[in-house]
Structure formats: C-alpha cells, structure tokens
Structure 1
C-alpha cells in the first residue's frame, strides 16, 4: 500500500474552494494527475455516482473508474476507484473553513499487487502531484 497526504491553507472561503473542487470541467486547470473525464464528471454529484477519469501517474496513462464514497457540501469529497493492473485507489478531499481561509487536506491511498512493486516511487510521485495540485487550486480561488 502507498498512502499520500498533502495539506495547504488557501486564502479563500470554503464555499469558493468547494465550487472549484467540484467543477469537474476545470479539473485540468489544477489537478496535476488529471487528463480527462471521457464521459464527464459525476452528474449528479452524489454518493454512489460512478465516473471515469483518465490520469497520468508516474508518467504512465491510467483510466480509473471512480465511485463517490462520501460527500458533505463544502466539507468533504471522498472517492474510491479501480485502475489498471488491479490497483485500488481512494482519494479524500477535506475542507476546514476558518473565516475567509480554508485548509484543504488531500489523502490518497493505492493498493494492489502492482503497487507493492513500486510503492516508494508511487508515493513520491503522488505526493508531489498533490502538492502541485494544491498550489494550482489556490491560484484559481485566491
């Protein structure tokens, strides 16, 4: 298993950060691993909604089937996914409002036989991508 975490304090209210986070049409503007949603994002955005995402991890393309596992407006978006080579993924975006600022914490995990072989490199690559994503997200909403 590889687990990754990144956190940033963004100078924008949670409502603005949330709107950017769930604007699936603009994911490519801030999400460093995202390449496309072949059939669009989850519509409607609700627990158990399923959608496909094309991503690039460690320089390799991957198609992930995501399911929304948890949803709390302006607070939490949690997803679980299945990718190539039997890899299972989980992503959790948690927003903690503090007046006109918001702390955004992203937690991810990757499991499966293929992950065991490259867990260290995957963790380093994914952590870098999460931190880059948070910087870009902040740039869009601040």
Structure 2
C-alpha cells in the first residue's frame, strides 16, 4: 500500500473551491494526473455514481473506473477506483472552510500487488502531483 496526502490553504470560500473541484469539464486545468474522461465526467454527482478517467502516473497512462463513495457538498468528495494490474485507488478531497478561505486536503491510497513493487516511487510521484494540483486549483479560484 502507498498512502499520499497534500494540503493547501486557498484564499476563496469553500463553495467557490467546490464549484471548481467538481466542474469536470475543466478538471484537466488543475488536476495534474488527469488526461481525459473517455465518456465524460460523472453525469450526476451522487454516491454510487461511476465514471472513467484516463490518468498519467509516474509517466505511465492508466485508466481508472471510479465510484463515488462519499459526498457532502462543499465539504467532502471520496472516490474509489480500479486501475490497471488490479490496483485500487482511493482519493478523498476534504474542504475545511475558514471564513473567506478554505483548507483543501487530498488524501490518496494505492493498494494491490503491483503497488508493493513500486510503492516508494509511486508515493513520491503522487505526492508531487497532489501538491501541483492544489497549487493550480488555488490559482484558478483566487
């Protein structure tokens, strides 16, 4: 298993950050691992909703089939997906309002036999991607 996380304070209200975070038509503008949604983003943002995403991790393309596991508007979005080589990926976005600013935390987890072979590199690459994504997200909403 490889666990990753990143956190940043964004100088915008949680609702504004949430709107950008869940605007799947512009996901690639801030999410540094995202390459495309082959069938479009989620049709409905609801628990149990599914979508496919093409990503790039450690320079390698990967298609992940996501399911929305937890959703609280302007607070939490948790998704779990199945990727190549039986790797399971979990991502949780948590927004903590602080007046006119928001702390955004992203937690990720990778599990599966293939992960143990490259856990260190995967952790470093994914952590860097999370920090870059938060930097870009902050730039889009402030």
* TM norm. shorter chain > 0.5: yes
Unaligned segments of structure 1, at least 5 residues: none
Distance apart, 1:43 and its partner CA:
1.0
Q: What is the aligned partner in structure 2 of residue 124 from structure 1?
A: 124
Q: What is the aligned partner in structure 2 of residue 51 from structure 1?
A: 51
Any runs of at least 4 consecutive aligned residues in structure 1 with deviations exceeding 2 A, and if so which?
A: none
**SS of alignment partner, residue 132 of structure 2:** helix
Q: What is the aligned partner in structure 1 of residue 110 from structure 2?
A: 110
Q: What is the aligned partner in structure 2 of residue 3 from structure 1?
A: 3
Residue correspondence of structure 1 range 1-142 to structure 2 within 5 A: 1-142=1-142
Q: Compute the TM-score of the two structures, normalised by the length of structure 1.
A: 1.00
Aligned residues: 142
**SS of alignment partner, residue 64 of structure 2:** strand
Deviations 1:51-101 (A, max 9, x none): 000000000000000000000000000000000000001000000001100
Unaligned segments of structure 2, at least 5 residues: none
**SS of alignment partner, residue 92 of structure 1:** strand
**Aligned counterparts of 2:113 and 2:44: Cα–Cα separation in 1:** 33
Q: Compute the TM-score of the two structures, normalised by the length of structure 2.
A: 1.00
The CA RMSD over aligned residues, in Å, is 0.3
